[in-house]
Amino acid sequence: MQEQTMWALTKKKPEAGLWMERVPIPEVGPNDVKIKIHKTAICGTDVHIYQWNDWARHTIPVGLTAGHEYVGEIVEVGSGVDGHNVGDLVSGEGHITCGKCRNCLEGHKENCRDAKGVGVNRNGAFAEYLVIPSSNVWSCRPNIPEELYAIFDPFGNATHTARSFDVLGEDVLISGAGPIGIMAAAIAKFSGARHVVVTDMNEYRLELARKLGATRTINLNEEKLDQVMKSIGMTEGFDVGMEMSGSPKALHDMIHNMKHGGKIALLGLQGRETAVDLETVIFNGLTLKGIYGRKVWDTWYTMTTMIEAGLDISPIITHHFDIRDYEKGFEAMISGQSGKVILDWSHINESES
């Protein structure tokens, strides 16, 4: 019997790029579902894989199918699956957890010690079909646009970070105007923050942050944080900080512009060499909290209900490409002149004709 194949974007060679090639269609286990991919989005992690940077070279096996931000339709369910049916529109949690460690058993799957990433540690969603455990499937609601579900993964990062501390009536500092930082600004404002200040050096993305709810943006090439704080009437520092950039300088500046007793959520990945001024952290009574992934399923529920309550994150999607033009999508992401980039898989097989 001839093996069935599908189109997928793979790391075919240990060098820059991704390659569209035919690979075997994944098999469905008793507790799995098979999803026909409708749309995917490009993540910063996918860009690292595409560019083949140092992290990717030490993490990604050659031959891997990339991608973990997606929406699609269930086309097959395993014999043991209950609650999901063929024809359902779904997205999914990208961290496949072990279900056995202490955190999983306590309901804190986001802290699973043995989590495996879709599109990082196992084949991902840049393909015609994806197979994942049914326990990782999130059912989509018809009143939410399909393409928004394609970015629920990064929206979840933003939600997990922005909801780590109470922001009602507070002054919030967000360092890093990438798509996740921008969505965090939208969430903070929607959640009742007074000032939401976003810092970066990319004017395109600072403009996006303003569109999505930032009350003040700072281009660090042109303005200084302390001067802006004075201009908006702040005297004691920010109540809540969200470090999204991974920049050691941004973290240093944030720590030194918090009020005493301020709280900082850390999502941006800092290098091992980053120095932290612990003296200031201790004497100023600051709280630093590391954020990884999304809470399962708390974050997903909050994302859904915020959109239903009127939060509009749609402007963060700035580019749409047919999957056959995926290289243009990566170029848009790498340029920094984009928000989220959506890749449409509906015409993939027309390339064969």
pLDDT, averaged per 10 consecutive residues of the chain (353 residues), comes to 84 98 98 98 97 96 98 98 98 97 95 96 98 98 97 98 98 98 98 98 98 98 96 96 98 98 97 96 98 96 98 98 98 98 96 48
Q: Which residues contact 196 (CB under 8 A, 6 or more apart)?
A: 172, 174, 185, 188, 189, 213, 214, 215, 216
User: Which residue ranges form the domains of the chain, and what is each CATH number?
Assistant: 5-155+295-344 (3.90.180.10), 165-290 (3.40.50.720)
CB 130 within 8 A of CB 118: yes
The 3-state secondary structure of 29-42, one letter per residue: CCCEEEEEEEEEEC
The verdict on whether 287 is a catalytic residue reads no
Q: Which residues contact 151 (CB under 8 A, 6 or more apart)?
A: 41, 69, 179, 313, 316, 317, 340, 342
- Residue 60: CA atoms inside 13 Å, Cβ hemisphere, count? 33
The verdict on whether 48 is a catalytic residue reads yes
Consult the annotation and say whether 298 binds a ligand: no
- Residue 97: CA atoms inside 13 Å, Cβ hemisphere, count? 25
Among candidate residues 10, 40, 45, 161, the one labeled active-site is 45
Q: Which residues contact 53 (CB under 8 A, 6 or more apart)?
A: none
Q: Give the per-residue pLDDT at 351.
A: 53
Q: Give the per-residue pLDDT at 31.
A: 98
What distance, in Å, lies between the first and last C-alpha atoms of the chain? 24
Consult the annotation and say whether 70 binds a ligand: no
Is pTM, for the whole model, over 0.85? yes
Closest to 146 (Cα-Cα) out of 8, 6, 320, 299: 320
Among candidate residues 10, 38, 40, 48, the one labeled active-site is 48
CB 48 within 8 A of CB 38: no
